[in-house]
Amino acid sequence: MCGITGWIDWRKDLTQFPSVLVNMTETMALRGPDASGTWLSRHCALGHRRLSVMDPENGAQPMTRTRGDTGYTIVYNGELYNAIELRKELEQRGHSFSTNCDTEVLLVSYIEWGRACLDRLNGIFAFAVWNDTEQTLFLARDRLGVKPLFYAVRDGMLLFGSEPKAILAHPDFPAEVDREGLAELFIIGPARTPGHGIYKHMAELKPGQCMTVERSGISARTYWKLESKPHEEDVETTASHIRELLIDTVERQLISDVPVCTLLSGGLDSSALTAIAAEYYNRTGQGIVDTYSVDYVDNDKHFKANVFQPNSDAPWIQRMVRHLGTRHHDVTFDTPELVESLEDALRARDLPGMTDVDGSLYLFCREIKKGATVAISGEAADEIFGGYPWFHREESLHADTFPWSLSAGIRTGLLSDETADWLRPRDYLDQRYRQALEEVPHLAGEEDTARRMREMSYLNITRFMPTLLDRKDRMSMAVGLEVRVPFCDHRLVEYMWNVPWEIKSAGDREKGILRKALKGLLPEDVLTRKKSPYPKTHNPNYLAATRSRVLQILNDPSSPVLQFLDTDHLRRLAAPETATMDLPWFGQLMSGPQLFAYIGQIDSWLREYKVSIR
């Protein structure tokens, strides 16, 4: 994985501004710690930071290939899992290769097929290709949006980057946020509306989209989207097909020239991926799989089961380690580390995020990086297979809003009257929810339950999953670790999208069809374990630390976040007798301590990024 950036300007000779490009590129040194490269022409400038995974000796970027009199230059962040097949097909068409890296395969694919190459790619990617004859830039992002790609159009120029920080490094792009950006932060965040970049004039290329930039203008189009069609297969055939797809996907994603490990929580998703990896390593003679898990000091003392987190991971992790014979690494953090990581997580996202849920993943990835460069993660299985509690709880199914944001009143209550009048947060939330529902590709003749479950799947895949993929990308790449997410293989997503809910929940269980597909791969008790999310700290010291941070903000008149808040209400929330707030206000894990931490992150972001409100 890597970091990419670029600059198009038809009014300037960009060869005169090499230092600007270097500064934009170097903001992403953590994403690509192994090498740096820039490329300049009169109207196009491209930058790249490299994390070497395939063919470390070659594959430097930006990479240029010519066909006839036309030069094509690419910057690329991602991984192609069908690069071997593509290379063979391209060689049959007369192309030759000088490296073994997928960058060259992708560039030659674009030279051969143009934008139609996107239909042939299996992988996660964000890339840009400059055609020096046509003077055009082509940008594209993978189908599910695993790899990020932000862009900005301002004063006749286009800027792009893997992260907002690359764009913000340009001297002519100030950090500004308008009414809509603030509404995203205070009512949608830490999620984002698809395509929204929060910063004024900044957007994100949506998953499954590509864009062409030329003198006459900019045009974007969708090359992939979910399509609804009847599912003709029975339960047994469906389970068999899922198993085949998942095994093929994992084995493709285990290919690497650097050490690979898996993240193991002892839950269904991570255990399945680890079991497939262990069997593949054993069959191919690659030795023992390394596994990693995360926990927190004294969590065993303070853990209390609830509907969102029914049991702790530790016993289940050991169960799977013994069963598979992996080389396991337990990683444990204490409260002071989690509190300190809030600032690192903020800088990794360039925005307030999932607070300690982000920070703990950042710390976890930092430890993994000491022993591996690539990790396999079970992200996205709950969105694809319907595993979250809100798929199964009546109050969530019929809430008429995003099911992970049922406590909107907690959030709107934080705002001052003036801010609420300006942002109209309830209207904004409802508008974004209605917009999402209008996008759902319904199947003709669906009865009410099937229709609603299709809507729930769509909301989760297009609105909630991107938040977790953002988190996974930023926190891992901030320490130079590549994380692969097999459940985001577009073939699996396309297939599961049309599987009826009664088959998805086979056996009257969450992710029932996945459990059926994995029979024989996992021990029966692991196969039937009730879902438990990514672990968070239950140590009361974390609540005390985040509450203290909020009180510090309230007692500092220079705190920039205060202009938006009902400070009296926030002070009451932070009082010792009310500061626990067990009800999640976002997702499954973000309750009272995370609310205080989120306010702290907004304050730090406004200060550190010198954000102006416009």
| Residues 465 and 383 sit within 8 Å (Cβ to Cβ) | yes
Work out the pLDDT band at 424, boundaries 50, 70, 90: very high
Greater confidence (530 vs 422) lies with 422
Residue 163 CA to residue 477 CA, distance in Å, equals 11
Is the pLDDT score of 306 beyond 60? Answer: no
pTM metric for this prediction: 0.96
Work out the pLDDT band at 335, boundaries 50, 70, 90: very high
| Residues 129 and 137 sit within 8 Å (Cβ to Cβ) | yes
- Dump pLDDT digits (tens) for 148-199: 999 999 988 999 999 999 999 999 999 999 999 999 999 999 999 999 999 9
DSSP string, 161-193: ESSHHHHHTSTT---EE-HHHHHIIIIITTS--
Residue 388 CA to residue 411 CA, distance in Å, equals 22
| Percentage of residues of the chain with pLDDT beyond 70 | 97
Is the pLDDT score of 461 beyond 90? Answer: yes
Is the pLDDT score of 309 beyond 70? Answer: no
| Residues 335 and 416 sit within 8 Å (Cβ to Cβ) | no
Q: What is the mean pLDDT of residues 312-337?
A: 93
Burial annotation 565-577 (CB, 10 A radius, 16+ → b, else e): bbbeebeebbeee
Is the pLDDT score of 73 beyond 80? Answer: yes
Question: Helix, strand, coil shares of the chain as percentages rounded to 5?
Answer: 45, 20, 35
- Dump pLDDT digits (tens) for 507-524: 999 999 999 999 999 999
CA atoms in the 13 A half-sphere facing the CB of 184: 21
Query: What is the predicted pLDDT for the residue at 302?
Result: 60
Q: What is the mean pLDDT of residues 327-356?
A: 96
Residue 295 CA to residue 537 CA, distance in Å, equals 8
Is the pLDDT score of 439 beyond 60? Answer: yes
Specify the range with the lowest mean pLDDT, choosing from 214-223, 391-400, 435-444, 552-561. 391-400
Query: What is the predicted pLDDT for the residue at 538?
Result: 77
| Percentage of residues of the chain with pLDDT beyond 90 | 87
Tokens 């005169």 belong to 16
Query: What is the predicted pLDDT for the residue at 62?
Result: 97
DSSP, collapsed to helix, strand or coil, labels residue 340 as: helix
| Residues 362 and 340 sit within 8 Å (Cβ to Cβ) | no
Query: What is the predicted pLDDT for the residue at 576?
Result: 84
DSSP string, 126-147: EEEEEETTTTEEEEEE-TT--S
| Of 80, 538, 520, the residue nearest 275 (C-alpha) | 520
Residue 402 CA to residue 307 CA, distance in Å, equals 18
Tokens 């196009």 belong to 44
Mean of the per-residue pLDDT values of the chain: 94
- Residue 478 DSSP code: T
The CB density around residue 614, as the number of other CB atoms within 10 Å, is: 11
Query: What is the predicted pLDDT for the residue at 360?
Result: 96
Is the pLDDT score of 308 beyond 70? Answer: no
- Dump pLDDT digits (tens) for 185-199: 999 999 999 999 999
Q: Evaluate the CA torsion angle 227, 231, 233, 235 in order and state its sign.
A: positive
Is the pLDDT score of 109 beyond 60? Answer: yes
Query: What is the predicted pLDDT for the residue at 30?
Result: 96
| Of 462, 468, 531, 458, the residue nearest 498 (C-alpha) | 458
Work out the pLDDT band at 311, boundaries 50, 70, 90: low
Residue 483 CA to residue 475 CA, distance in Å, equals 10
Is the pLDDT score of 532 beyond 80? Answer: no
Query: What is the predicted pLDDT for the residue at 310?
Result: 56
Is the pLDDT score of 565 beyond 90? Answer: yes
Is the pLDDT score of 137 beyond 90? Answer: yes
Query: What is the predicted pLDDT for the residue at 57?
Result: 72
DSSP, collapsed to helix, strand or coil, labels residue 100 as: coil
CA–CA distances in Å: residue 462 to residues 192, 472, 596: 10, 16, 27
Work out the pLDDT band at 483, boundaries 50, 70, 90: very high
Query: What is the predicted pLDDT for the residue at 304?
Result: 60
- Dump pLDDT digits (tens) for 273-286: 999 999 999 999 99
Residue 135 CA to residue 391 CA, distance in Å, equals 48
Most confident of the ranges 55-64, 251-260, 299-308: 251-260
Query: What is the predicted pLDDT for the residue at 258?
Result: 82
Query: What is the predicted pLDDT for the residue at 528?
Result: 92
User: Which amino acids are annotated catalytic?
Assistant: 2
Work out the pLDDT band at 55, boundaries 50, 70, 90: low
Is the pLDDT score of 13 beyond 80? Answer: yes
Q: What is the mean pLDDT of residues 568-587?
A: 84
Work out the pLDDT band at 53, boundaries 50, 70, 90: confident
| Of 363, 358, 343, the residue nearest 191 (C-alpha) | 358
